[in-house]
Chain A
């Protein structure tokens, strides 16, 4: 059984995530462990760019499972999320069968055969392969509408899908399900109740520094400290969209490409578009405000090293 490869404790889960270069808080590791151990979906909410989607990818590669991703959008329907019949082939089959004088019952049985079933992500996720049950990532669930959310209830609680022509298909081994939401609307309690919930927050300065050390190891110690300090200060400002961890990593890499060894007001102005994605925010920070913030960050860092 492949489930033996699942981590046996919270510590093991943390080690597993760290092994895949994912720096996780103890709280997140606990939630992931619970989801794996008790076979329930993990519901991750948080701002954009804090590493929600990444968890699923990391789990898939860490456990050696297949990753199946269902990107949600408004109007997502059963035909593109669960299954669809291959109509062209079915038509052909009917014609062939009629030519061969097959009986009506035979045709009926043959037409809705698994051969003509096109499997979409949710149905694929119910099939385990050699490596074990796959990791199913249901990404940005808040983008879809309430009817689809209601449909998911059956899939996520019993891990089964009902196809009227065939019957109910049940997973032999339930997939590892990660559901993410950016909270652009509230997901219904009925769905959340079936999951373990975790709010993925922006990391603390120390944690973010760790993440940078793992994800952008080439950035120097000094630069990393300044980048993290600056981003953390930005998050305290009243911005329309606060920079996420993904932006921090991108920014550190962008600065490296520009051969910056430390942060300067010019470098910040040139690369502001990497961390801030709204014109209002960029305008607010351009020029003197960025410089003020940078001086404040440098003063704080200086104080730290002196102590």
Chain B
């Protein structure tokens, strides 16, 4: 370890100071570089020595970089900094206002909401009145909620929407659990836990050895949500954001992607605890709201770049889309098949299914339908809760699951 005592002897302290500034630069640029890393860097540079620039580069690289996507940033910072630290400072000064805005951002909407709360009804359709009523008159709220259950999201008034959002926030997804390879103690479990048995035997002393039991532990599989945000879905997509936010914050291992004309991973934005902050960040990150749909291309991109990373551990996929595709389902079939084959269960949620006489006639739907395990409506709260029921049921045999729809699709 580099003790403070021997630091001044190190290159007269100049290099150390520079290393420190370099670390601070990287931190300002958004890399997670703490004092621990800096000490490690000092140690590493001392071990390798300052023989040549390339070795110095790779030494710092080994210490400071720990994700692939940091490489470009490090590379640029290194080359600018170690030529002339001043230039970088200037460059950073130009970038910094933006990064500051990024960090300050979460506060802005909060303050706006706070202002709304203070000034009463200043904000257009704020959540405050609705929440107040919920607290004041429980019976009324209940009946209202009943009514809400059946109303289509598309026909709701702003106020009803607010209530629906609140209901969505309370939603829990009890996705089926899958067996892991781990065990947990259970007095009536099917297997003998030898280790616990032997310990108990010693505690008991002589005589019989009491059998301790265990069973296989279950855990919910990861969840991947692919949500369509094209024009035809626009009325629903914002509500689904609330749903996705509730799910993301309720359990771990949830990945969320939005797609219209291109695919965006919004998992990180939805992790914000406050729904308004989360929605704002998502809105900012996505630039194809209410545009066209290219389901095939977006899913192909998902398959190529993300599937191996997020579907790795047997994930369940929720595919939220109306299946109306600008490319008329071209190339959608094989892409959907690949997605289906690389996940545990593929559930298609379709708001169009609300019509009594719905038939999957569009080319896009016909291409998708043969490759889903479950096909469900999501147009009101009642359908969402029936979805939850369906999800907590043990899955049927995969290819028979959505069979009722297949004849119409074929």
B363 part of interface (Cβ distance < 8 Å)? no
Task: Kindly state the separation between the CA atoms of A189 and B32 in the bound complex, as whole angstroms.
Answer: 9
Task: Kindly state the separation between the CA atoms of A52 and B338 in the bound complex, as whole angstroms.
Answer: 28
Task: Kindly state the separation between the CA atoms of A43 and B196 in the bound complex, as whole angstroms.
Answer: 36
Interchain CB contact under 8 A, B55 and A30: yes
Interchain CB contact under 8 A, B66 and A26: no
Contacts of A9 in B (CB 8 A): 48-49, 51
Supposing A37-B47, A45-B68, A196-B63 touch, asked if A90 and B198 sit within 8 A by C-beta, the answer is yes
Interchain CB contact under 8 A, B313 and A199: no
Shortest CB–CB separation between residue B60 and chain A, in angstroms? 10
Tell me the A192-206 residues at the B interface (CB within 8 Å): 192-193, 195-199
One of A33, A104, A183 near B68 (C-beta < 8 A): A183
Interchain CB contact under 8 A, A87 and B194: yes
Interchain CB contact under 8 A, B195 and A34: no
A142 part of interface (Cβ distance < 8 Å)? yes
Interchain CB contact under 8 A, B198 and A38: no
Task: Kindly state the separation between the CA atoms of A184 and B309 in the bound complex, as whole angstroms.
Answer: 4
Task: Kindly state the separation between the CA atoms of A108 and B204 in the bound complex, as whole angstroms.
Answer: 11
Task: Kindly state the separation between the CA atoms of A10 and B45 in the bound complex, as whole angstroms.
Answer: 12
Shortest CB–CB separation between residue A199 and chain B, in angstroms? 5
A153 part of interface (Cβ distance < 8 Å)? no
Interchain CB contact under 8 A, A26 and B54: yes
Contacts of A238 in B (CB 8 A): 304
Number of B residues, CB within 8 Å of A: 43
Instruction: Report which residue of B66, B67, B313 has the largest number of chain A beta carbons within 10 angstroms of its beta carbon.
Output: B66
One of B65, B182, B334 near A75 (C-beta < 8 A): B182
Main secondary structure of the interface of B (DSSP, over half): helix
| A183-223 vs B, Cβ < 8 Å mask (1 yes, 0 no) | 11110010011011111000000000000000000000000
Interchain CB contact under 8 A, B313 and A145: yes
Q: Which residue of B lies closest to A238 (CB)?
A: B304
A2 part of interface (Cβ distance < 8 Å)? no
| A139-152 vs B, Cβ < 8 Å mask (1 yes, 0 no) | 00011010100000
B61 part of interface (Cβ distance < 8 Å)? yes
Contacts of B48 in A (CB 8 A): 9-10, 30, 33-34, 37
Shortest CB–CB separation between residue A242 and chain B, in angstroms? 11
Contacts of A280 in B (CB 8 A): 334, 338
Shortest CB–CB separation between residue B223 and chain A, in angstroms? 14
Task: Kindly state the separation between the CA atoms of A75 and B314 in the bound complex, as whole angstroms.
Answer: 13
Task: Kindly state the separation between the CA atoms of A240 and B341 in the bound complex, as whole angstroms.
Answer: 15
Contacts of B61 in A (CB 8 A): 27, 30-31, 198
Interchain CB contact under 8 A, B309 and A34: no
Shortest CB–CB separation between residue B82 and chain A, in angstroms? 16
Supposing A27-B61, A38-B43, A240-B304 touch, asked if A85 and B198 sit within 8 A by C-beta, the answer is yes
Task: Kindly state the separation between the CA atoms of A75 and B55 in the bound complex, as whole angstroms.
Answer: 39
Shortest CB–CB separation between residue B6 and chain A, in angstroms? 16
Tell me the A61-82 residues at the B interface (CB within 8 Å): 73-77
Interchain CB contact under 8 A, A193 and B66: yes
Interchain CB contact under 8 A, A77 and B182: yes
| A91-106 vs B, Cβ < 8 Å mask (1 yes, 0 no) | 1001000100000100
Interchain CB contact under 8 A, B66 and A192: yes
Task: Kindly state the separation between the CA atoms of A94 and B67 in the bound complex, as whole angstroms.
Answer: 52
Interchain CB contact under 8 A, B202 and A77: no
Q: Which residue of B lies closest to A43 (CB)?
A: B66
Interchain CB contact under 8 A, A104 and B205: yes
Contacts of A183 in B (CB 8 A): 68, 309
Contacts of B181 in A (CB 8 A): 73-77
Contacts of B195 in A (CB 8 A): 85, 87
A104-B205, A185-B310 provided; 12 other pairs, C-beta below 8 A?
A10-B48, A30-B59, A34-B63, A38-B44, A85-B194, A87-B194, A90-B198, A147-B182, A186-B67, A197-B62, A197-B65, A197-B67
The 6 residue pairs across chains A and B that have the minimum distance between CB atoms: A75-B181, A30-B58, A87-B194, A192-B66, A184-B312, A196-B62
A contacts, CB < 8 Å to B = 9-10, 26-27, 30-31, 33-34, 37-38, 43, 45, 73-77, 85, 87, 90-91, 94, 98, 104, 107-108, 111, 142-143, 145, 147, 183-186, 189, 192-193, 195-199, 238, 240, 280
A sample of 7 cross-chain residue pairs with beta-carbon separation below 8 angstroms, ordered by A number, consists of: A30-B48, A34-B48, A74-B181, A145-B313, A183-B309, A196-B63, A197-B62
